[in-house]
């Protein structure tokens, strides 16, 4: 389909949603809660199809498929707290503004566009959608065409659950995305890579549409000498090779104190064998690379450094073994882009200052991990590095703390969502100031003669 051909139905759908939103139906909290509960029921109903689709698209084991369905935990959190989030939030007044009252009054933005990625193709459409619904918006969803089975399940689920004048899903490739981005929305939330994120932001700028960009980057994992090596290895192996490394907040590379490197590598190798066996290609618990283009890119990275374990691959099955690479320099190609696959480079440092200096020279990551028992080390990393999120002595799990905002910084993204942060992202936090008539002081009105000293005193300038 050409971009021109895709534009007509997209424009018509957007007009229908704007007409529906103008009725005010989405503003009712009871309506929003009903829609969130309907979405929950639909996820429960479709859970087997969601898991099957994840297996088809990404070779996911059933257990990892349930990570997609686990978005229901955030949905329950939103249902529980929505009425509190939607209440006016009182603001303090300076003495000079009294008598009066001030508050922040959340209100819906209008029609939102949510563009999802292929790596968690169900979860990363539904999670922002619940924020858009909770805030009282209409929404158009565009799932990734690179996860076609999940896209098809999402299309059926959304069509069965919602009136398309309220929530609609549009399937398609680049032409469809371009047609959507040519329209004016009230907010766009995009999850994907930096290159496409720039395209989304550029398109949004034509309409002055605010954007939330969830991108990615090279999330470092620092391993200090004062660490439980076996537990650190267990957690790192799980987080890195979950979904075959195709997780935006997966540890991208290890930055290890050279004194603990040998022990850590031994523990990592043992843990990889424990999880996936001597031949991970036969493991029922290891996912596959999404497509041949990504496979070819990743195989190209295997020629660098020294492969400690892994490195095997099979293009017909889109299989790349869980791989550790040693002897990698900071300027190696594998260190120039987000890996987004089951390849884990190992770099070392002699001092924490050296490690932090190395990180400060690179783009700010979506996540940063540090393994250490030493609170001083933890504090130094927190105080002297920047990342969208930090997790201490574990990986990935910070994303499921619904009271924490999720998002990037710098080239890893902008904006935050999850929990109340999703509600606020899809809301206009309208400032309101109210004054009574019963007292009207004369200090601010002309003529100003003899009032300057009074004004200076009120402002604390004298």
**With contact defined as beta carbons under 8 Å apart, do 60 and 287 qualify?**
yes
C-alpha–C-alpha distance, residues 119 and 417, integer Å? 18
Residue 103: count other Cβ atoms within 10 Å of its Cβ.
Answer: 14
Which regions of 184-257 does DSSP assign to beta strands (E)? 187-191, 211-214, 220-223, 253-257
Buried b / exposed e along 25-50 (16+ C-beta atoms within 10 A): ebeeeeebbebbeebbebbeebeebb
Alpha helices in 164-228 (DSSP H): 174-181, 194-205
Strand partners, 325: 307, 345
Cis link prior to 99 (omega < 30° from 0)? yes
Tell me the β-bridge partners of 254.
Answer: 221, 346
- Rounded to whole angstroms, the Cα distance separating 392 from 41 reads 35
Catalytic residues: 214, 248
CA distance 378 to 65: 33
260: tokens are: 């603990």
Q: How far apart are CA 445 and CA 451, in angstroms?
A: 9
CA-nearest of 61, 186, 40 to 127 is 40
């Amino acid at each position: 389909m050409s971009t021109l051909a895709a534009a007509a139905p997209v424009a018509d759908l957007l007009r229908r949603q704007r007409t529906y939103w103008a009725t005010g139906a989405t503003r009712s909290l009871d309506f929003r809660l009903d829609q969130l509960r309907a979405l929950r029921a639909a996820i429960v109903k479709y859970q087997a199809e969601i898991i099957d689709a994840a297996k088809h698209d990404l070779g996911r084991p059933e257990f990892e498929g349930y990570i997609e369905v686990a978005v229901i935990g955030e949905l329950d959190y939103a249902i529980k707290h929505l009425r509190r989030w939607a209440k006016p939030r009182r603001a303090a007044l300076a003495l000079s503004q009294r008598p009066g009252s001030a508050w922040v009054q959340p209100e819906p933005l209008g029609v939102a566009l949510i563009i999802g990625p292929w790596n968690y193709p169900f979860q990363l459409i539904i999670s922002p959608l619940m924020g858009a619904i909770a805030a009282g918006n209409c929404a158009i969803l565009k799932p990734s065409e690179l996860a076609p089975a999940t896209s098809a399940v999402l299309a059926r689920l959304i069509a069965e659950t919602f009136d398309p004048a309220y929530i609609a899903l549009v399937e398609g490739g680049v032409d469809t995305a371009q047609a959507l981005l040519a329209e004016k929305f009230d907010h766009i939330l995009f999850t994907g890579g930096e290159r496409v994120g720039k395209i989304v932001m550029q398109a949004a700028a034509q309409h002055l549409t605010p954007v939330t960009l969830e991108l990615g980057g090279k999330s470092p994992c620092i391993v200090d000498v004062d660490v439980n090596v076996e537990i650190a290895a267990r957690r790192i192996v799980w987080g890195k090779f979950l979904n075959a490394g195709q997780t935006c907040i997966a540890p991208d590379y290890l930055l290890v104190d050279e004194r603990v490197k040998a022990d850590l590598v031994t523990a990592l190798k043992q843990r990889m064998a424990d999880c996936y066996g001597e031949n991970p290609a036969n493991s029922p618990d290891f996912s596959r690379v999404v497509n041949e283009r990504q496979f070819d890119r990743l195989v190209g990275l295997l020629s660098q450094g020294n492969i400690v374990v892994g490195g095997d691959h099979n293009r017909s099955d889109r299989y790349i073994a869980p791989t550790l690479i040693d002897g990698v320099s900071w300027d190696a190609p594998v260190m120039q882009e987000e890996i987004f696959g089951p390849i884990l480079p190992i770099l070392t440092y002699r001092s924490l200052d050296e490690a932090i200096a190395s990180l400060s020279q690179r783009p700010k990551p979506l996540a940063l991990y540090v393994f250490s028992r030493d609170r001083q080390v933890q504090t130094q990393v927190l105080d002297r590095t920047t990342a969208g999120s930090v997790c201490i002595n574990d990986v990935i799990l910070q994303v499921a703390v619904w009271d924490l905002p999720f998002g990037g910084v710098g080239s890893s993204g902008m904006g935050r969502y999850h929990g109340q942060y999703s509600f606020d992202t899809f809301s206009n936090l309208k400032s309101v100031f109210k004054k009574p008539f019963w007292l009207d002081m004369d200090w601010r009105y002309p003529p100003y003669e003899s009032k300057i000293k009074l004004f200076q005193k009120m402002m604390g300038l004298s």
